[in-house]
Amino acid sequence: MRSRRDRESKEPREQTHYSISGIKLKYGVTDAVIKKLGEPDKVVDNPHSKGAPPMKLYEVKRVDEFIVKLKAERPGYMAQMRTRQNRAKKAVDTKLKNMGFLTENLISNLIIKDYDARNIPSLTVKQHINHLLDLHDGCYTEDDGWQSSFNSEVAYIRHQLTNYETILATIKGKVGTEESYQRIKAILNEKIIKDYKRKLDEIKVLDSNVEKFNQTKNGNE
């Protein structure tokens, strides 16, 4: 049985807020114009990096209505906005291209430290199921618990045993950070999972051999 969170994650979400960079890119306005919007509607942790400043978000409806009013009050500003939009798009395209090169370079330099898989902290499957039930109103099975447990171990390795945080600091604040972050995270997770599963399999084989040895030893005594 799939959890409700899994089902809802497949449904497209309507955009509710703009970031400052999103407003600039869509409407070509300056920081001075954005300041006229006043205080943001929401301030959230930056999704790109733990050390980055909080992200200011503005409701889509509020921003769109503000732009409509601005166009009515300053018709001549429209031409300036279009010019800025074109310049901004060209600048963004160039920066995205450069970010693409940087991302591939960073991916080639991903490092996973050597570690003992036995030392990776983890909650039990039951604890993860209870945790999921506390966070979400849905039905969770043992499979959900196993997946959540495994994901937490992968996250621990990613943040504690790789150069992931250093790489995030490298792309912090750059155009295309979100796309770069998602690609780097996906590829690093793939590497971690492959390596971690290999280590776990080696431990199973080792433990099995030790058990067989002990059984043989006990049988010969």
Full pLDDT tens readout for the chain, 221 residues: 344 444 444 455 788 999 988 888 788 788 888 999 999 999 998 776 666 788 899 999 999 999 888 888 887 776 777 777 777 778 778 888 888 888 899 999 999 999 888 888 765 545 544 544 454 455 545 454 455 667 788 888 888 899 999 988 888 878 788 888 889 999 999 999 899 888 888 877 776 665 655 656 565 55
203 lies in the same domain as 168: yes
In a domain, 106, yes or no: no
3-state secondary structure of 121: coil
- Which 8-state DSSP code applies to residue 162? B
Q: Which of 72, 87, 102 finishes a domain?
A: 87
Quote the distance between the C-alpha of residue 109 and its chain's center.
19
65 lies in the same domain as 156: no
Residue-number span of the structural domain to which 205 is assigned = 111-220
Give the angle subtended at the CA of 107 by the CAs of 106 and 112, to the nearest 5°. 105
Amino acid, single-letter form, for residue 166: T
Euclidean distance between CA atoms 173 and 113, whole angstroms: 27
Euclidean distance between CA atoms 200 and 195, whole angstroms: 9
